[in-house]
């Protein structure tokens, strides 16, 4: 399930005419099928790559508003990048969004839904047992510093 829709991306790029301009690769005056979906899939993959460190992904439908907006913004940037028409603010906006995703992956921010999504399988709450057969001493560590 995609986190945003093509109408969300349309709002982010500035309307239907702008969306057609960014997605009409065969110059027939209509948006090419699948171009917006591919941009949304790329945006969702980016979100999932950060979020999976902390949460089960993909997020259950309906996606949190913060995730939907983030997906639409990134998909719009992907469309502009593919047509070599980036905005002057795209680099700063991407840096802010990736910064937020980094905080999400560290647990410093939440995705904005209640209840909070389940933990990812890679998150552990317990420290592992130390192998007692491996002795660490000053003598054995000589030469490593």
Task: For residue range 2-53, list pLDDT tens digits in order.
Answer: 999 999 999 999 999 999 999 998 888 888 879 999 999 999 999 999 999 8
CA-angle at 122, arms to 52 and 65, nearest 5°: 25
Q: What is the reported pTM?
A: 0.77
* pLDDT in the model for residue 66: 92
More reliable by pLDDT, 60 or 76: 76
Tell me the per-residue pLDDT of 75-133, one tens digit each, with 9 for 90 and over: 999 999 999 999 999 999 999 999 999 999 988 888 876 666 666 666 555 666 767 77
* pLDDT in the model for residue 18: 93
* pLDDT in the model for residue 4: 94
**DSSP characters for 74-124?**
HHHHHHHHHTT---TTHHHHHHHHHHHHHHHHHTSS--S-SSPPPBPTT--
More reliable by pLDDT, 57 or 130: 57
* pLDDT in the model for residue 116: 64
Are 38 and 31 contacting, i.e. CB atoms less than 8 angstroms apart? no
Question: Average pLDDT of 48-75?
Answer: 90
The torsion angle over the Cα atoms of residues 46, 47, 50 and 51, rounded to 10 degrees, is -150
How far, in Å, CA of 81 to CA of 90, rounded?
Answer: 9
* pLDDT in the model for residue 44: 96
């Amino acid at each position: 399930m995609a986190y945003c829709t093509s109408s969300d991306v349309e709002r982010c790029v500035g309307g239907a005419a702008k969306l057609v301009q960014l997605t009409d690769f065969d110059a027939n005056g209509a948006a090419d099928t699948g171009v917006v979906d591919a941009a949304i899939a790329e945006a969702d993959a980016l979100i999932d790559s950060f979020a999976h460190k902390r949460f089960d992904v993909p997020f259950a439908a309906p996606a949190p508003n913060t995730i939907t907006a983030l997906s639409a913004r990134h998909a719009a940037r992907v469309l502009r990048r593919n047509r070599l028409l980036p905005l002057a603010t795209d680099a700063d906006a991407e840096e802010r969004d990736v910064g937020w995703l980094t905080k999400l992956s560290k647990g410093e921010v939440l995705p904005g839904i209640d209840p909070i999504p389940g933990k990812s399988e890679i998150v552990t709450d317990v420290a592992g047992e130390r192998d007692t057969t491996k002795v660490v001493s000053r003598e054995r560590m000589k030469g490593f510093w």
